[in-house]
Structure formats: C-alpha cells, structure tokens
Structure 1
Amino acid sequence: MELDRTLQMFKELTEAPGAPGFEGPARDVMRKYIEPYADSVTTDNLGSLIAMKKGASEQPKIMVAGHLDEVAFMVTMITDKGFLRFQALGGWWEQVMLAQRVTIHTRKGVIEGVIGSVPPHVLPPEAKKKPVEKKDMFIDIGATSKEEAEKMGVRPGDPIIPVCPFTVMKNPKMLMAKAWDNRIGCAIAIEVLRRLSEESHPNTVYGVGTVQEEVGLRGALTSVNTVEPDIAFAVDVGIAGDTPGMPSEYAQSKMGEGPQILIYDATMVPHRGLRDLVIETAEEHKIPYQYDAMAGGGTDAGRMHLHGKGVPSMVISVATRYIHSHASILHRDDFDHAVKLMVEVIKKLDAAKVAELKEHR
C-alpha cells in the first residue's frame, strides 16, 4: 500500500538501526523530518539531537524528548568456528530472543544472522523446562571460522539490530515494527514541532531525540544540561494491558483509547501541577487519555526532572504491545491524540503559567 507522510516517517524511523551508542542512522532520519520546522538543529557531545523552535518568547523553554535508541545487542567475541557471542544492550527477556533474525552492522556493511542455542532435541527433560540464558546463546552468520567472520568485517563492538520491517496491519490503525520503543516518541517530537510551525506559542520549544536511554538514561542527562529547560516532557511507550492473560491490576491501558499519563515510575513522581494541567487540557479539548503507573523501570524524565534546581517534568506515553522484543504493535490514533495533547499544553505554557507551576509543588 502507498504510505502517507506520517506512515512513511514511521517506516523510516523504525527501520533505521539505532542501538544504544550507535544511534547515528536513526538520528539522521529524525533530523531529516524535524529540520524543516526548527530554527536550529544541533547535537550534544553524546549525540542527542536537539531541534529548537522559537515562539513568541525566548522563555520559558519547553523540552519534548523521545529517545533514539532501541534495545539491541553488541558483538563481544567471535568463536573459533565463526559464531558470535554477544552482550544485550537494554533489557531483553530470553524467551523472546531465540531463533530471531538480526543484522550485524560492520565497517564493511550489514550481515544477516539468527540467534541460536543448543537445540531442545538433545537436552535432558529438566533442561527443556528452563529458558535458555543469554550467556548460552550465540549468533550464526553462516561463517565457518573466526577468520571467515573477520573477513566479512565482523569485530567485537559491532552493534546487532533486530529485524522487523514496518508493517501496516490488516486493521490499518494497528502498526507493527521494531523500535517503537522509542521511535514513536521521536515521531511525536517531530510532529509537535510541525504543528507548532502553523500556530503561535508563547515559549521556545525543543524537540529532542536522546541517546542511550535503554542503558541508563544517559542522553537525557547530557541533553537536559544542554537545553536547560523550564518544563520537560518525556514521550515514550507504555505497557498495553489489553492482551490475553494480562491482569488489569498490572496494566490498565488499552490501545486506541488515548495517550497514557504516567502517574508513577521507579525514577520519578511527576510534578503535580504539570500533571493537573495536562489532565485539564485533555478534558477541555476532549482528548481521550488513560492513566499508567510503572513500578519497575523508568524514562528519560527520571534524569530531566533532577537538572539544576529541578525541572517540572512528566511522561506522556503510548500504549504498546510486546516492547523490548523484535516486533511491537501500537495504535495510530494514540499517536495523533498524544501530539494534539502536547501541542495544546505547550500553547498554555507562557512565563506566567510556568511560574505558577513552579510554585505548585
């Protein structure tokens, strides 16, 4: 099918490789799409992309950040027989890894491979009942020796990326891809700047693509130090609770029923006044929304809200199925509603409102 502008952006963003520490290709795609709506585009010294759009006033500064990196792997050694041992970059559950296709990005080009292990047919019964651990997995690239793998261009430190082409599903609202965590946040930042290019806003807005979120929120720290915002939003994915066997007390959100407003995660309690403003704005404009809480894990807001004397911050997320795997699914309406909510909130964030929020803590 022919893709519209937004779907084409999704395709290019999600299919670009962007392992933590190797975000260059994903950053190039984000730059391509955000640059027409920015007054300047720069990077910090770790590689986070920072697009600045001036409004009616230089202050306050509003930061909207998605992270460029995706969960991936790194080559750590080549065995004598040409198989690759690897290190996970980000959180991987062993049960979603085996027999999955990957690409190794070498100095000589891209090599295809598959994650393998000892086959279950030869394991004793007790071993078959246990998940294979990452340390017992390897990647098969079809090489027959270490020397052959090296001639292909492989060396330790090369990034390894999951394979999943961007797919519009039979229900065209449902979109499957790798790296939705968190290219959807990057797409929201791009679209927010695009919409604001057509409207007045009483502030300066920074659309940011951070690096190395999956390995410790690192780019969030360097980019917030660079921008020094007055208000910060992390835009990310959240857990969808609408699949079979998912208890509602673990995850309440349903795909297609609006962006998630994160009320708690392991790295941050969101700013109360900013949270209330977001909820009031959603209700005023009849934008559907859902609450989310995440007892484990965190987002870039966990670093951003601690900058300097503190930055009022919160997380707006999109309910997504099967994150931290090769293929995840989200709903296009949630993207559209998240963008509209962010735009309407930003239009309210003038100097007086930000000063009021800083007192409401």
Structure 2
Amino acid sequence: VTSITKEGFLKFLPVGGWWEQVMLAQRVVVKTRKGDVPGIIGSKPPHLLGQEERNKVVQKKDMFIDIGAADEKEATEELGVRPGDQVVPDSRFQLTANGRLVMGKAWDDRIGIAVFIDVMRALKDGGHPNTIYGVGTVQEEVGLRGAKTSVEAVDPHVGFALEVDIPGDTPGVGEHEAISKVGKGLSILIIDSSMIPSRRLFELCVETAEKENIPFQYSAMGRGGTDAGRIHLHRTGVPSVVISVPTRYIHSHTSLLSLEDYDNTVKLVTALMRRLDAETVAALTDF
C-alpha cells in the first residue's frame, strides 16, 4: 500500500512481476497491524470507458483496492491500514477434480520451500554425508536480495535453487517458447538470464534422475532468473543448478502444478544429497 485516498480506497505498487491483465477484480487481503482486511482490486467500470480505452490494458497506476471503507479515516483508524502494509492474494488451496493437480497462490516459490522441507524429512535419520541448509529467501522478485545475504551466511560448496518452471502446454504457448509440460516430470534448467549452471553438476542431476528412474525435462528461459543467479557468484564461484516443478499461471492469483512432478522433485533432490560426498563435490570444481 502506498497511499489511502480521501474516499478510503488504497493505491499500491507491485512487489515483483505482476501483470496487469491478471489483476483486476481479484480478491486480496491487506495485512494490517490490526489484522487481515479483505478487499478487491478495482478500476474504472467498462461502461464508462470510451472504445479506445476499452482496447487497452488497464495500468496498475489506475487500479485501486476497495476495502469497503467509507473514507480515509475509517480505513486508517478503524481498519488499521497504513502505507507500507503488504497485500497478498486471496486464493484457496484446492485439488483439481482428478486429484492429480493442485491449485493455490504463490507456488512461485512456496513450492520450493515445501520441497526442501520434505527433503529434510527424508534425510532426518541420516544416510547422507552433508550439512544441508534449506533457505527461504526474501526479495527474489526484486533483485535476488535474500540470496545475496543468505549465501554469505551459509557459504555453501554447492547450491540448488528449488523453483517453479514455466510450462509450454497451454493454448497460445508454442513449444519454442517453453519446453516443459505439467505432469511430465520435474525440470532441470539449461540456462536463464541470471546463470548458466555448472555443467558437471547439471550432468550429475541428469545422471541421477536416469539412474533413479525419475522422469525429468529440460528447461531454458531467455528472460527471468532465480536465486542461483546470486549463489553461483559467491566467493570464487559455487557450482549451482536450478531444479523446478513445472507450474502454470505463475505471477497470478492462482497457479497449478502436478503432485507427481512435486514428488519426483523431492525424490531427485534427496538422491542428490546422498550422492554429494566430499569426493563428488571436489570433482565439480577440479579442472
């Protein structure tokens, strides 16, 4: 929230890559000092738009959040809204009718946190030679800032970014634009705008997936990046790779992914943790 109008409407700025076309008329929750305040993203009604305006995408600067307040005083004093309050999507978790896919908000990148939690659970009784850190970074969408600070604290020998991938399996998206498909396996990134992964670590991921009979796909992104873009630049360099769950409709109120792809991502990362002994890690940078 950046400001509250005299009439009690909230103006806002996005945190990260929100596309205007998916925002209008969506329910949100404003996180205030007095508790959660529900609202809806509004704009000028189409009935009042000229023909030229109707054909244009409404810009974020022209949107507002309606929380039902009568005026600025009610919004601020009674409901507790003030500039700087965070606004989050109001989107419930739900399985699809076939039970194979799941819908929910912010899979980018809550799903990465879920993966490392399940990997930690799988490894809690030992069976691996490593000290493993699972890090939920902040501000990835606005500059990989949490990755920059956390990599200093952890000082890793190897880095894995656990992410979502953009699949090319919906109408209007060509195979040349996005390679992976939901339900066809996890994805291993070839390249994005922030990093070319360590080739030896990349090959280890592929070899492990094949050995464990874990379905996987390749992925490449001309735009966008992940926390690995900062991790791999730490000190003299950290071998890093991105392993992802293909996810439809990211950067919107509701995304969709396959539970089987998720389970396979957990299996691969767990298997890699068991394989990465001191000799294997040293070989990643022994030229």
Structure 2 distance, partners of 1:355, 1:105, is 46
**Residue 121 (structure 2) aligns with:** 194
Structure 2 distance, partners of 1:148, 1:345, is 54
In the alignment, structure 1 segments of 5+ residues that lack a partner are 1-74
- Greater strand fraction, Structure 1 or Structure 2: 1
Deviations 1:287-318 (A, max 9, x none): 10000001111000001001111100010001
SS at match of 1:309: coil
Structure 2 distance, partners of 1:278, 1:303, is 20
Moved more, 314-323 or 345-354: 345-354
SS at match of 2:209: helix
Q: For 2:222, which of 295, 301, 309 is the aligned residue?
A: 295
1:323 aligns with 2:259: no
Structure 1 distance, partners of 2:130, 2:57, is 51
**Residue 195 (structure 2) aligns with:** 268
**Residue 253 (structure 1) aligns with:** 180
Structure 2 distance, partners of 1:349, 1:235, is 17
**Residue 88 (structure 2) aligns with:** 161
Deviations 1:172-222 (A, max 9, x none): 111000011111100000011111123410111111111111111111111
1:236 aligns with 2:155: no
**Residue 352 (structure 1) aligns with:** 279
Identity %: 58
Deviations 1:36-59 (A, max 9, x none): xxxxxxxxxxxxxxxxxxxxxxxx
Segments ≥4 residues shifted beyond 6 Å:
none
Deviations 1:111-169 (A, max 9, x none): 11000011111111011000000000001011121111112100000000011011111
**Residue 97 (structure 1) aligns with:** 23
**Residue 9 (structure 2) aligns with:** 83
**Residue 13 (structure 1) aligns with:** none
Q: For residues 337-348 of structure 1, what are the structure 2 equivalents within 5 Å?
A: 337-348=264-275
1:235 Cα offset (Å): 0.2
Q: For 2:56, which of 123, 130, 145 is the aligned residue?
A: 130
Q: For 1:181, which of 108, 111, 118 is the aligned residue?
A: 108
SS at match of 1:95: helix
Which amino acid counterpart does residue 101 of structure 1 have in structure 2?
R
Which amino acid counterpart does residue 291 of structure 1 have in structure 2?
Y
Q: For 2:205, which of 278, 300, 319 is the aligned residue?
A: 278
Number of equivalent positions = 286
**Residue 47 (structure 2) aligns with:** 121
Deviations 1:11-46 (A, max 9, x none): xxxxxxxxxxxxxxxxxxxxxxxxxxxxxxxxxxxx
Structure 1 distance, partners of 2:90, 2:98, is 22
Structure 1 distance, partners of 2:45, 2:115, is 42
SS at match of 2:185: coil
Moved more, 193-202 or 97-106: 193-202
**Residue 23 (structure 1) aligns with:** none
Structure 1 distance, partners of 2:143, 2:163, is 15
TM-score, normalised to structure 2, is: 0.98
Structure 1 distance, partners of 2:89, 2:241, is 30
**Residue 208 (structure 1) aligns with:** 135
**Residue 69 (structure 2) aligns with:** 143
Which amino acid counterpart does residue 212 of structure 1 have in structure 2?
Q
Structure 2 distance, partners of 1:100, 1:316, is 31
> In angstroms, what is the RMSD of aligned CA positions?
0.8
Structure 2 distance, partners of 1:269, 1:308, is 17
1:251 Cα offset (Å): 0.8
Which amino acid counterpart does residue 285 of structure 1 have in structure 2?
E
